[in-house]
Chains A and B, each alone.
Chain A
Amino acid sequence: MPKIEPEAMVGAKITNLSLRRWLHSLPGVDKVGLEARAASLGTRSIKTTSKAWALDAAIKMMDLTTLEGMDTPDRVRSLCLKAMTPDPTDPDCPSPAAICVYGDMVQVAKQALGKSGIYVAAVATAFPSGRASVAVKLQDTKDAVKAGADEIDMVIDRGAFLSGNYLEVYKQIQAVKNACVRSDGTTAHLKVILETGELQTYDNIRRASYLAMLAGGDFIKTSTGKVTVNATIPITLLMLQAVRDWYDQTGVLIGIKPAGGIRTAKDAIKYLVVVKEVAGEQWLTPDLFRFGASSLLNDVLMQRQKLKTGNYSGPDYVTVD
């Protein structure tokens, strides 16, 4: 994949002023128009074969997540086993792409998943608020990488962003990216959480997306799942436009991860429709699209069962996790 030169993209030495000029030169976002487009895509009707494809895709693109203060090693292990065998009645059922945990659970998850091919993603950088010193954020990241995390989900400094200190946000992402480098020179995949619910406006979300892509994020992710407004279809649509345009401009493919609040198969399918129609089918792969979700898997499993048997399923026929 081609490398981007941030200074060439911005057309100037990277300073807060040049970043500000660059970000504020992006086309504006009309809220009503964006939401109307999202609503219209939400009316797509996905049936039979396309539904079967979408349900499996939703599982394969899932970061099965547990991010609770009450997480325990057993709880994490149980989730990993669920990821490896989502539906005991159906050996053809695919597995999620990754298990997403706090950094201290990386080792447990890694061990439980063994050679399943399921990745371990760790949230880092003083998740979810990001309110800690840069040193702490970097140490948090390094610890997770060292423990074997395949992917790091970092949060941006929303305070810095909202106060107009784009350079600080940019530098932190770059520093975290450097902290993702393993001793063997390989790198953990970096997902940059914008916490769109706190950025509030679509213009901010577009700017934050570009800032994260410029700073070297591999994925841009909507939310921590810990604030009032998490992933929404319009926000995801907007970020998909950003990665699509970024690719057109640079040839670099950036991934997208909506997270938080996606609980039903129906919702997940709507997201996949948006991915297909806005960014294109190229993004319909776990390498470039993930759902961050904790309770989505079971609903998708029930829908799979319904497609297979023709009968509506119930919670007693999928396993608790």
Chain B
Amino acid sequence: MFEYAPAPESRKLVTFQSSYGHFIGGKFTKPSNTYQTISPATEEILAEISTATAKDVDLAVAAARNAYEKVWSKLSGAERGKYLYRIARIIQERARELAIAETLNNGKPIKETRDADIPLVSAWFFYYAGWADKLDYAGLGVNPKAHGVAAQVIPWNFPLMMLAWKIAPALAAGNTVVLKPAETTPLTALLFAEICQQAGLPDGVVNIITGFGQSGADLIAHKDVNKVAFTGSTGVGRLIAKQVAGTNKKVTLELGGKAANIVFDDAPLDQAVEGIINGIFFNQGHVCCAGSRLLVQESIQDELLKKLKKRMETLKLGDPLDKNTDIGAINSKVQLDKITKLVKLGVKEGGEAWAPNCEIPKKGFWYAPTVITGVAPTNTVVREEIFGPVLSVLSFRTPAEAVAKANNTPFGLSAGIWSEKGSRILKVADQLNAGVIWANTFNQFDPASPFGGFKESGYGREGGRHGLLAYLKGDN
């Protein structure tokens, strides 16, 4: 009786060019070696994108080096900061356009790009703009230095947000950058190139090259790169860590995760349910810090799962541009196949998969929000990062058991704790081997708050003063 009529966001605000070159030295190159980028929700072709060759990488790094030597390193921090403030403002002005573009190219709901991704993008530039003239207070002594040229390779799950996390601190610290967005989600990075032009950013300070894994590998391996920042899979992170061995390149890696979301029997239950939902279904679970392992105290397991399933039935899956959509499209066929395969394996290993009844659109890539129960720490779905809307449920009896199970993974990016008992939260937070702990909340991000992992989830932090350190060197 009270069904929500479609409420699609208008696409009129966004115009993509039919094809894009790379953004090098302040200008777009002629498109070459192109491939098509699509909307994963409809499989509609949005634009033709160039694939960077080793030569393109050379040109981009040379442009960044030139801009570093001749312009950017000579500017005062205050002046660099002003450019960042300008960029932040332009992002705010073009926020809705960027949100729509992101939703089109990524498949995530407009609700998220409008209310989370893009506001965080401008917030990130604002935050680091203010650091540019205060580097003496960063914690590396007086007058710390930039590294020079930063090579940055980012994933497809938060395309523009990841760009902001990389570019804002790099520029504030005085580096110039060459950034490569993921092959499936290049469009907002290319719109960002236009924003750099609108902001009058000196040519070559920001360079964007597009392409596949090889382009990224060429960029990271480039001899004239001083700093490498990568966000993506642990597998690729490993290759990068090997590749930079023996060089002087400073590296930060933001890799995979398999976060435990621990619910104690004294938790604020309704908020815990929201936290679980937000933890694993936000952005279709394409989140490295997703709370993909629910650890629930056995005494409240039935009650919690009942509430959780009921809540999952209210999730709306469908057109990402619809303002009421909660679950959008899976970003690619490749990712969809991976999720499907892992869940099948989970069921084969004895797990019971449950998903609410939801209509799956005919075109595009989709996966219904899923809970897997009846699994144990030994099961594949409990150990491997699925990177999709799939929650595995484990139970525990005591706080010590919860901590042991939570830490029983090579990853260590994030974790959640739900309890109304302060001293328990503090103790468990101490014991968890994870870089970000959300207690009675989940998936919160802020430019002032450092983010990054322990163990195989990578090293270095993004956000806050700590995030700045990755782009600076002082006297050791």
Chain A residues at the B interface, C-beta cutoff of 8 Å:
27-30, 32-34, 36-37, 43-51, 53-54, 57, 241, 248, 272, 276-277, 281, 284
Whether the Cβ atoms of B2 and A30 lie closer than 8 Å is: no
Whether the Cβ atoms of B4 and A241 lie closer than 8 Å is: no
Whether the Cβ atoms of B5 and A50 lie closer than 8 Å is: yes
Contact (A281, B2) CB under 8 Å given A32-B441, A43-B323? yes
Whether the Cβ atoms of B274 and A37 lie closer than 8 Å is: yes
With beta carbons under 8 angstroms apart, the residue of B2, B269, B323 that contacts A27 is B269
Whether the Cβ atoms of B2 and A272 lie closer than 8 Å is: yes
Contact (A30, B440) CB under 8 Å given A43-B323, A45-B323, A241-B270? yes
- B2, B5, B275, most chain A CB atoms within 10 A: B2
Whether the Cβ atoms of A276 and B2 lie closer than 8 Å is: yes
8 A Cβ contacts from B75-105 to A: none
Q: Does B115 contact A (CB under 8 A)?
A: yes
Whether the Cβ atoms of A50 and B2 lie closer than 8 Å is: yes
Contact (A28, B268) CB under 8 Å given A46-B7, A50-B4? yes
Q: How far is the CA of A276 from the CA of B2 in the complex (A)?
A: 8
Q: Does B298 contact A (CB under 8 A)?
A: no
8 A Cβ contacts from B338-375 to A: none
Q: How far is the CA of A48 from the CA of B267 in the complex (A)?
A: 40
5 residue pairs A–B, Cβ–Cβ below 8 Å: A43-B115, A47-B4, A57-B2, A248-B306, A281-B1
Contact (A53, B2) CB under 8 Å given A32-B441, A43-B323? yes
A residues less than 8 Å from B266 (CB atoms): 27-28
- Nearest A-chain residue to B275, judged by Cβ: A33
Q: How far is the CA of A277 from the CA of B87 in the complex (A)?
A: 39
With beta carbons under 8 angstroms apart, the residue of B2, B306, B420, B441 that contacts A28 is B420
A residues less than 8 Å from B5 (CB atoms): 46-51
Q: How far is the CA of A54 from the CA of B274 in the complex (A)?
A: 25
The SS class assigned to the A binding surface is helix
Q: Does B431 contact A (CB under 8 A)?
A: no
User: Which 8 pairs across A and B sit closest by C-beta, in order of nearness?
Assistant: A33-B271, A45-B7, A45-B323, A30-B268, A27-B269, A30-B271, A28-B420, A50-B5
Chain B residues at the A interface, C-beta cutoff of 8 Å:
1-7, 111, 115, 266-271, 274-275, 306, 314, 323-324, 420, 440-441
Q: How far is the CA of A43 from the CA of B322 in the complex (A)?
A: 12
Whether the Cβ atoms of A50 and B268 lie closer than 8 Å is: no
With beta carbons under 8 angstroms apart, the residue of B4, B270, B314, B420 that contacts A46 is B4
A residues less than 8 Å from B267 (CB atoms): 27-28
A146 to chain B, nearest CB (A): 37
Whether the Cβ atoms of A33 and B268 lie closer than 8 Å is: yes
A306 to chain B, nearest CB (A): 16
- Nearest A-chain residue to B419, judged by Cβ: A28
A residues less than 8 Å from B7 (CB atoms): 45-47
Whether the Cβ atoms of B2 and A29 lie closer than 8 Å is: no
Whether the Cβ atoms of B440 and A33 lie closer than 8 Å is: yes
A-B contact count (CB 8 A): 69
Whether the Cβ atoms of B323 and A53 lie closer than 8 Å is: no
B residues less than 8 Å from A48 (CB atoms): 5
Whether the Cβ atoms of A27 and B274 lie closer than 8 Å is: no
Please give 17 more A-B residue pairs, beta carbons under 8 A apart, in addition to A28-B267, A44-B4. Answer: A27-B267, A27-B268, A27-B269, A28-B420, A30-B440, A32-B441, A33-B275, A33-B441, A34-B271, A45-B323, A46-B7, A47-B5, A47-B6, A48-B5, A49-B5, A50-B3, A284-B2
Whether the Cβ atoms of B324 and A45 lie closer than 8 Å is: yes
A residues less than 8 Å from B324 (CB atoms): 44-45
B residues less than 8 Å from A29 (CB atoms): 268, 270-271
B161 to chain A, nearest CB (A): 19
B residues less than 8 Å from A28 (CB atoms): 266-268, 420
A residues less than 8 Å from B275 (CB atoms): 33
A57 to chain B, nearest CB (A): 7
- Nearest A-chain residue to B313, judged by Cβ: A280
A residues less than 8 Å from B1 (CB atoms): 53, 281, 284
A205 to chain B, nearest CB (A): 13
Q: How far is the CA of A49 from the CA of B2 in the complex (A)?
A: 9
- Nearest B-chain residue to A269, judged by Cβ: B2
A residues less than 8 Å from B3 (CB atoms): 49-50
B residues less than 8 Å from A248 (CB atoms): 306
Q: How far is the CA of A229 from the CA of B3 in the complex (A)?
A: 31
- Nearest A-chain residue to B3, judged by Cβ: A50
Q: How far is the CA of A13 from the CA of B103 in the complex (A)?
A: 57
Contact (A277, B268) CB under 8 Å given A33-B440, A48-B5, A50-B3? no
- Nearest B-chain residue to A48, judged by Cβ: B5
- A30, A37, A46, A277, most chain B CB atoms within 10 A: A30
A271 to chain B, nearest CB (A): 12
A residues less than 8 Å from B314 (CB atoms): 277
- A34, A44, A45, most chain B CB atoms within 10 A: A45
Q: How far is the CA of A41 from the CA of B141 in the complex (A)?
A: 47
A residues less than 8 Å from B306 (CB atoms): 248
A40 to chain B, nearest CB (A): 8
Q: How far is the CA of A272 from the CA of B269 in the complex (A)?
A: 23
Q: How far is the CA of A33 from the CA of B440 in the complex (A)?
A: 8
A residues less than 8 Å from B323 (CB atoms): 43-45
A residues less than 8 Å from B115 (CB atoms): 43
- Nearest A-chain residue to B269, judged by Cβ: A27
B residues less than 8 Å from A284 (CB atoms): 1-2
B455 to chain A, nearest CB (A): 29
Q: How far is the CA of A310 from the CA of B3 in the complex (A)?
A: 22
B residues less than 8 Å from A34 (CB atoms): 270-271
Q: How far is the CA of A49 from the CA of B3 in the complex (A)?
A: 9
With beta carbons under 8 angstroms apart, the residue of A37, A45, A46, A50 that contacts B271 is A37
B residues less than 8 Å from A281 (CB atoms): 1-2
- Nearest B-chain residue to A33, judged by Cβ: B271
Q: How far is the CA of A80 from the CA of B5 in the complex (A)?
A: 34
A residues less than 8 Å from B2 (CB atoms): 50, 53-54, 57, 272, 276, 281, 284
